[in-house]
């Protein structure tokens, strides 16, 4: 019902109020008993004749008119929110002054100034002159605008509040937030009541919740990394070769195995471009035959031959093939640092590509090329100028990730055996992250993507705005 209908109902029950207008009578009752406000609506009832009549133009324009009306109603809700808080602030001050005066003034003086027998919750001067209908939203649109305004009142001072709380420990921040939010609630209510206490409790929970999240961030990171490890299952040798699960989070490589591999290769491609730009004037050379000899020597010791019993002839065949590969790459066996880095990347890829395959000599290929990769990596690091050490470090972080994941891909995904020269440029043409769809997740606990998500949360819980600083501290 609208406010006039509400007044008419009151008059039916109390005829002595017939001389007062319907609206005025309704306002007096609502001021005294605000719990009846929910009975009042501002909706207009349209008759069936109005619904079915009218031209097509009128019907089409009705939607535009409705949108304009909704925006206007939302604006009215915002205005009511502002007026409500202004009235609340004035009323809170008046109630405070009134209560104090009642404590110190004699009854006769109280009667003269009109505060004798006045209860704390009785309407204030502002509440009397500004009717409730101008301070309380009616209808959905007004309520939305009203809620936005009230939310803005809470958020607006966040910058100053976060500056005030700078350097505070958790307990003082809890007390500060409880006081501030409690005061904001009291202003909006116009008095100290149970809502004020609730607001203070909620305010105290803001930094408390942030403190709990900060304590949990290390835990979520650990859980996320454990999930990633369970998906990739790096071997001891891969860890010795430089695989670190935290680098997946560090370089934002999380996702399915295919996506992580594609992201890793794209980052490596970008680093190769940077390396090329920095090494154009470099005259440093790497002798591949020397690296081959060091690799060969690794497999000549009695201890290694005993451990690799049954594979030694296959290893010698692979070493001979590797020598032929080196000749095909460089006639003099000497290459610059850029070429050496590309060969290093290719050698690591070929070693990982051969893992778990059933072809003859596949195991020997994996062992020989992985050893060659590590020897070449050490030589490049020693020969590289200081200004590209950062790029080399990033590549040394990424290549072990690529190799570990490549070993986890099904053999059929890796297709046929490849040569060293094939592996050098393989990923630039084969892997395109835009073409790799994310795998749907049925069990989050078994998903490497979910693991990366948890690890990311654990690493990046940090305040960046006024609100963030109020929640997490500084």
Structure tokens at 17: 């109020």
Other C-beta atoms within 10 Å of 278: how many? Answer: 17
How many Å from the N-terminal Cα to the C-terminal Cα in the chain? 51
- What is the per-residue pLDDT for 216? 53
- What is the per-residue pLDDT for 3? 81
Higher pLDDT, 463 or 222: 222
Full-model pTM: 0.42
Q: 3-state DSSP call for residue 64?
A: helix
- What is the per-residue pLDDT for 70? 75
Average pLDDT of 78-103? 85
Q: Would the pLDDT of 292 be above 90?
A: yes
- What is the per-residue pLDDT for 313? 92
User: What's the chain's average pLDDT?
Assistant: 74
- What is the per-residue pLDDT for 474? 56
Closest CA relative to residue 244, chosen from 117, 357, 394, 437:
394
Contact indicator for 400, 264 with CB cutoff of 8 Å: no
Q: Would the pLDDT of 184 be above 60?
A: yes
Model confidence pLDDT, tens digit, residues 391-403:
888 988 998 888 8
Phi-psi region of 361 (alpha: psi -120 to 50; beta: other; left: phi over 0): left
Model confidence pLDDT, tens digit, residues 424-452:
444 433 333 332 332 233 333 444 544 55
Model confidence pLDDT, tens digit, residues 115-161:
888 888 888 888 888 888 888 888 888 888 888 777 777 666 666 76
What does the DSSP 8-state code read for residue 166? T
Q: Would the pLDDT of 290 be above 90?
A: yes
Contact indicator for 7, 23 with CB cutoff of 8 Å: yes
Higher pLDDT, 231 or 287: 287
- In the chain, where the domains are located: 55-151, 257-437
């Amino acid at each position: 019902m609208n406010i006039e209908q509400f007044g008419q109902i009151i008059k039916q029950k109390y005829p002595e109020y017939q001389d007062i207008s319907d609206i005025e009578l309704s306002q007096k009752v609502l001021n005294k008993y605000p719990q009846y406000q929910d009975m009042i609506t501002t909706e207009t009832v349209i008759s069936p004749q109005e619904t079915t009549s009218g031209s097509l133009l009128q019907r089409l324009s009705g939607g535009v008119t409705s949108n304009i009306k909704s925006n206007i109603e939302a604006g009215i809700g915002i205005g009511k929110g502002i007026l409500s808080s202004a009235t609340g602030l004035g009323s809170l001050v008046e109630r405070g002054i009134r209560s104090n005066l009642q404590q110190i003034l004699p009854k006769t003086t109280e009667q003269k100034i009109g505060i004798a027998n006045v209860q704390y919750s009785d309407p204030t001067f502002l509440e009397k002159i500004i009717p409730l209908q101008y301070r309380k939203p009616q209808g959905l649109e007004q309520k939305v605008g009203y809620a936005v305004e009230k939310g803005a009142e809470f958020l607006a001072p966040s910058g100053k509040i976060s500056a005030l709380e700078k350097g505070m420990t958790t307990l003082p921040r809890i007390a500060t937030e409880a006081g501030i939010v409690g005061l904001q609630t009291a202003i909006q209510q116009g008095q100290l009541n149970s809502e004020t206490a609730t607001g203070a409790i909620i305010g105290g929970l803001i930094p408390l919740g942030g403190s709990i999240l900060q304590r949990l961030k290390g835990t979520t990171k650990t859980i996320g990394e454990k999930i990633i490890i369970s998906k990739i299952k790096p071997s001891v040798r891969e860890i010795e070769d430089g695989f670190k699960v935290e680098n997946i989070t560090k370089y934002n490589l999380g996702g399915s195995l295919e996506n992580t591999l594609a992201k890793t290769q794209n980052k490596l491609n970008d680093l190769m471009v940077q390396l090329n730009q920095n090494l154009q004037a470099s005259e440093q050379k790497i002798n591949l035959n020397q690296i081959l000899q060091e690799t060969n020597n690794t497999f000549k010791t009695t201890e290694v031959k005993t451990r690799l019993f049954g594979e030694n002839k296959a290893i010698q065949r692979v070493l001979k093939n590797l020598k032929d590969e080196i000749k095909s790459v460089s006639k003099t066996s000497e290459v610059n640092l850029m070429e050496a880095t590309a060969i290093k990347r290719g050698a690591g890829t070929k070693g990982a590509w051969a893992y778990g395959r059933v072809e003859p000599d596949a195991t020997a290929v994996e062992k020989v090329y992985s050893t060659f990769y590590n020897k070449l990596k050490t030589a490049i690091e020693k020969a590289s100028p200081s200004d590209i050490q950062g790029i080399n470090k990033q590549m040394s972080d990424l290549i072990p990730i690529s190799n570990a994941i490549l070993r986890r891909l099904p053999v059929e995904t890796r297709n046929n055996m490849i040569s060293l020269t094939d592996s050098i440029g393989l990923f630039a043409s084969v892997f395109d992250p835009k073409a790799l769809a994310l795998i749907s997740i049925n069990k989050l606990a078994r998903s490497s993507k979910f693991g990366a998500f948890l690890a990311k949360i654990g690493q990046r819980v940090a305040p960046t705005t006024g609100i963030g600083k109020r929640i997490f501290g500084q």
